[in-house]
Chain A
Amino acid sequence: GAVVSQHPSRVICKSGTSVKIECRSLDFQATTMFWYRQFPKQSLMLMATSNEGSKATYEQGVEKDKFLINHASLTLSTLTVTSAHPEDSSFYICSAPPPRQWNRDTQYFGPGTRLTVL
């Protein structure tokens, strides 16, 4: 079953509104989570690293005031797209590395959130 969940899976909003996307790790704690963005027919681009108990680290070119990240607990990170515009329409995916003792080869990805801004 899924070990990282995202909510909502789809959201449609009007231009100018803010949208919050949740990423939860199920059955394990994640001090670090990652947020990626994927435009249609394009690759996944890392937006930021979410750190529990400290500020998020943003990749170059990503506006931190536009994309607010809060790692509220060891199992929850939220991405808020503030004052969304049509160009923010994208597929947002979060991921979390599993505990080392699980000895997994990959981090776990959430199922993604498709944001459409009208």
Chain B
Amino acid sequence: AQKVTQAQTEISVVEKEDVTLDCVYETRDTTYYLFWYKQPPSGELVFLIRRNSFDEQNEISGRYSWNFQKSTSSFNFTITASQVVDSAVYFCALASYNQGGKLIFGQGTELSVKP
């Protein structure tokens, strides 16, 4: 069975703090995709990143960075110098390689960045 766990339900930080959102996944597939999405109050999902299971390189995009560790089945997301506009619900998701459209989402982490 596939499963994604985001243990942090809510996180509150003050602007400019760094914050890490945790994501742990379970799958028996040897090849799979991992995703992060942002969902602002409007509800529309915003794609942030996709990582293939065979590519463990960490990635940095501006203030965002991702740490993928297959050994611990984790795909954590860090926002550096957080801003109020980062406030949203963030979802980690998993998809099998041969079922790329079917996403298994984690419970989501609601991030609140206060000025």
Contact = CB atoms under 8 A, between A and B. Distances in A.
B35 interface: yes
Contacts, number: 48
Interface stretch (A16-24, A68-76, A78-86, A109-117): A109-117
Nearest to A107: B101
A112 B101 contact: no
A44 B47 contact: no
Contacts of B105: 43-45
B106 A93 contact: no
A2 to B, nearest CB: 9
Contacts of A41: 110
How extensive is the interface on chain B, given as a class? Answer: 10 to 19
B76 interface: no
Given A43-B91, A111-B42, 11 more contacts: A34-B101, A41-B110, A44-B91, A44-B103, A44-B105, A45-B105, A97-B100, A107-B100, A107-B101, A109-B44, A111-B44
13 contacts: A32-B101, A43-B105, A43-B108, A44-B45, A44-B105, A45-B105, A49-B102, A95-B101, A97-B100, A106-B50, A107-B100, A111-B42, A111-B44
Interface of A: 32, 34, 36, 41-46, 49, 91, 93, 95, 97, 105-107, 109, 111-112, 114
